[in-house]
Amino acid sequence: MQPEEGRNRVIIEDVTPEIDAGRYPIKRIVGEETVVQADILADGHDALSCALLYRKEGDAKWTELPMEPLGDDRWRGSFRVQELGRYCYTVLGWIDHFKTWSRDLAKRVQAGQDVSVDLLIGAELVEAALKRATLVHAGWLSTFADALRAGGAEGARQALSPELARLMHLCDERRFATTYDKELGLVVDRERARFGAWYELFPRSCSAVPGRHGTFKDLEERLEYVASMGFDVLYLPPIHPIGRSFRKGRNNSTVVGQDDPGSPWAIGSVEGGHKAIHPELGTLDDFRHLIEAATQYGIELALDIAFQCAPDHPYVSEHPEWFRRRPDGTIQYAENPPKKYQDIYPFDFETEQWRELWEELKSVVQFWVDQGVRIFRVDNPHTKPFRFWEWLIAEIKRDCPEAIFLAEAFTRPKALYGLAKVGFTQSYNYFPWRNTKWELTQYLTELTQTQVREFMGANLWPNTPDILPEYLQFGGRPAFMARLILAATLGPSYGIYGPSYELCESRPIAPGREEYLDSEKYEIKSWDIDQPDSLRELIGRVNQIRHENPAFRANHNLHFHEVDNEQIIAYSKSSEDRSNEVLVVVNLDPHYKQSGFITLPLEDLGIDPRQPYQAHDLLTDARYLWHGTRNYVELNPQTVPAHIFVIRRRVRTEHDFDYYL
């Protein structure tokens, strides 16, 4: 069967970025550029014109921008989005008969051929355009058409004039134009979605009085400390009432002491569930006050969303249909056979009442949005359906496009990426287990230099309350310094769980395990934050450097450089306008001084290889005069295991001396 219209000669293929054939949107932040490329071609030798279209979802009108040919039938266009929310984009291409004619005419004129008939063909094209033109343009076009019909050298000159080309472009025909068969999605977030330093702490450990349960008020006192280290986001583990049945004791023991506070992730008791606040922390008013107090310090609060219930959560009695029942009448607890987690009831997402369950869970997030929370760290998202998250995040962001969701997706690679695709703004990832130069180079290249960067924002955490990596257990303070600097400079978003981190807490529950000894998840801690060997100052300095150097705000600009020592890693980042170029060099060996030669691609860095340039270490304020592609570095882990250089291209010479001329 013949198609409706067989004259659409242009075909469009391989549009980038495009995630899973357009099934999922890409992500950008406000003001950021989206570069779109496509293979656009037609049969024969006719010239094409192509355009990039984009619009905010719901808008009827597309904004159109021209695309430029890159050669090899590849076209490129770009646009910048200025508003939060969902956009879509697509491309189109058409045979441009005027452009074809004009290109060919130029060749004929150059070859000295008789072009009288060609000028008449051109006149016909101009006269056809006239009917599509505005009144003003029509007047001009009519004059051109007459000139072409008059022919001769003057006709040819007018035919090839840029004015005529511009006019013809303005009312181009686009007959049989081909529009790409997909409208591709784009989610625009605010800058915090991309760039931010996170700090996790347990509010209950914030009391100034050792042993006493900390409150939101105590936490307010702690804000100055957090702010002094330059953090942007303060993330709190769940703040809800903690279940009492099957409560876990210290060190995750099934034997619980009278005063053991339990894990904050065992959510729900007679005192309430996911919309309630643990009474010992304070009231909802206290919480709202805390948000405001944090805002005064430039800190935004992030809450934990853990969709699971302690056995005494009100949902269990009010909505037994949301849980799986066992033949003996009990409710199915969480399991990873043969391990049993009897303190946790998972929701049954295959329940007949899934619609009500979804709505209720959405109302939980909405409740906290209504209290002023805009950032959510989602616990174990990979144990709830992908489609559920896709729906929930879209629902919340429809009215609150500034919402940010960080997925604690410590799961298999494709599930991790799958959650990012369905809507999570950011994701935890395998950074805690990437420690050698090869591992870091491979993994960060995957995260920042492949399609992954289009849909996933990596948030790099060297530790969490569940993860004390071996490298930190054995490397001592130098290891904590190195991992902090790596996390803070490899990615625009990173976080630490403190004060454990800055105090270099490194004792695991047992050799070969990654859980903390005496984990804060099961007990109230009293941290001596004024310890003299705290990393507080270093962290503050690093976060200040991040804020002052725009190169650290982007995700796609990471490049690794060769060092002739496997213990030293070096990478550079640059701001979009290339005005800020940073080079980070880290000694990955926490035990020994290491040295080596770094090889830099000077041309890529915009450095004249014949001129010296300055490597200014922002950590120590030391300045090194470098020259050429290979330069020496030496790093002692006992002092500072890294350089964070800003590269200054221009170095003063005698020409700059006041009286030189």
Cβ 522 to a second copy, closest distance in Å? 24
Pairing state between β 300-305 and 375-378: parallel
| 41, 128, 400, 509: residue in contact with a second copy (rule CB under 8 A) | 41
Indicate the angle between helix axes 135-150 and 162-170, nearest 10 degrees.
130
Residue among 20 and 292 whose Cβ is closer to a second copy: 20
User: HEC profile for 604-616?
Assistant: CCCCCCCCCEEEE
Q: Is 408 a catalytic residue?
A: yes
- What residues have CB less than 8 Å from 406, skipping those under 6 apart? 302, 375, 376, 377, 378, 424, 425, 426, 427, 428, 459
Residue 98's closest CA among 178, 171, 147, 31?
171
Instruction: Say how many residues touch a second copy, by CB under 8 A.
Output: 65
Cβ 347 to a second copy, closest distance in Å? 11
C-alpha 334/C-alpha 310 separation (Å) is 10
Cβ 623 to a second copy, closest distance in Å? 46
Contact 159, 167 (CB under 8 A): no
Task: Catalogue the long-range contacts made by 617-626 (C-beta closer than 8 Å, 24 or more residues apart).
Answer: 617/643, 617/644, 617/645, 618/541, 618/545, 618/548, 618/549, 618/644, 618/645, 618/646, 619/538, 619/541, 619/542, 619/545, 619/643, 619/644, 625/651
| 113, 143, 295, 639: residue in contact with a second copy (rule CB under 8 A) | 113
Of the residues 18, 312, 408, 581, only one is catalytic, namely 408
CB atoms within 10 A of CB 251: 16
Of the residues 172, 312, 360, 379, only one is catalytic, namely 379
Establish if 415 lies at the interface with a second copy (CB under 8 A).
yes
- What residues have CB less than 8 Å from 398, skipping those under 6 apart? none
What are φ and ψ of residue 219, in 5° steps? -65, -35
Residue among 106 and 605 whose Cβ is closer to a second copy: 106
Establish if 44 lies at the interface with a second copy (CB under 8 A).
yes
Cβ 343 to a second copy, closest distance in Å? 18
Establish if 385 lies at the interface with a second copy (CB under 8 A).
yes
Residue among 329 and 511 whose Cβ is closer to a second copy: 329
C-alpha 64/C-alpha 84 separation (Å) is 19
Q: Is 96 a catalytic residue?
A: no
| 111, 135, 209, 255: residue in contact with a second copy (rule CB under 8 A) | 111
Residue among 355 and 507 whose Cβ is closer to a second copy: 355
Terminal alpha carbon distance of the chain: 81
Establish if 43 lies at the interface with a second copy (CB under 8 A).
yes
| 31, 152, 298, 413: residue in contact with a second copy (rule CB under 8 A) | 413
Residue 581's closest CA among 642, 628, 646?
646
| 47, 121, 276, 651: residue in contact with a second copy (rule CB under 8 A) | 121
Could you give the string, one character per residue 182-221, with x where binding to a second copy holds by CB under 8 A and - elsewhere? x---------------------------------------
Residue 602: strand, helix, or coil = coil
| 80, 166, 387, 556: residue in contact with a second copy (rule CB under 8 A) | 387
- Retrieve residue 535's tokens: 């990393």
C-alpha 70/C-alpha 443 separation (Å) is 30
Establish if 108 lies at the interface with a second copy (CB under 8 A).
yes
| 54, 98, 180, 388: residue in contact with a second copy (rule CB under 8 A) | 388
Establish if 384 lies at the interface with a second copy (CB under 8 A).
yes
Could you give the string, one character per residue 140-179, with x where binding to a second copy holds by CB under 8 A and - elsewhere? -----------------------------------xx---
Establish if 630 lies at the interface with a second copy (CB under 8 A).
no
| 16, 39, 400, 595: residue in contact with a second copy (rule CB under 8 A) | 39
Could you give the string, one character per residue 332-371, with x where binding to a second copy holds by CB under 8 A and - elsewhere? ---xxxx----------xx---xx--xx------------
38, 55, 342 from 77: Cα distances, Å: 9, 15, 56
| 62, 85, 86, 104: residue in contact with a second copy (rule CB under 8 A) | 104
Residue among 56 and 149 whose Cβ is closer to a second copy: 149
Cβ 158 to a second copy, closest distance in Å? 17
Is the N-terminal amide bond of 338 cis, ω within 30° of 0?
Answer: yes
Could you give the string, one character per residue 4-33, with x where binding to a second copy holds by CB under 8 A and - elsewhere? --xxxx-x-xx-----xxxx----------
- What residues have CB less than 8 Å from 321, skipping those under 6 apart? 351, 352, 353
Cβ 47 to a second copy, closest distance in Å? 12
CB atoms within 10 A of CB 447: 24
| 58, 153, 399, 414: residue in contact with a second copy (rule CB under 8 A) | 414
Q: What is the DSSP string of 606-657?
A: T--TTS-EEEEETTT--EEEE-SSEEEEEEBTTTBSEEEEEEE-----GGGS
Residue 482: strand, helix, or coil = helix
Contact 204, 566 (CB under 8 A): no
Establish if 69 lies at the interface with a second copy (CB under 8 A).
no
The amino acid at 558 = L
Cβ 34 to a second copy, closest distance in Å? 20
Torsion sign, CA atoms 208, 210, 212, 215 = positive
In the window 484-513, what residues touch a second copy (CB under 8 A)?
Answer: none
Establish if 327 lies at the interface with a second copy (CB under 8 A).
yes
Pairing state between β 404-407 and 493-497: unpaired
Residue among 69 and 401 whose Cβ is closer to a second copy: 69
Interface contacts to a second copy, rule CB under 8 A = 2-3, 6-9, 11, 13-14, 20-23, 39, 41-45, 72-73, 95, 104-105, 107-108, 110-111, 113, 117, 120-121, 123-124, 175-176, 181-182, 326-328, 330, 335-338, 349-350, 354-355, 358-359, 382-388, 391, 412-415, 418
What residues are labeled active site? 379, 408
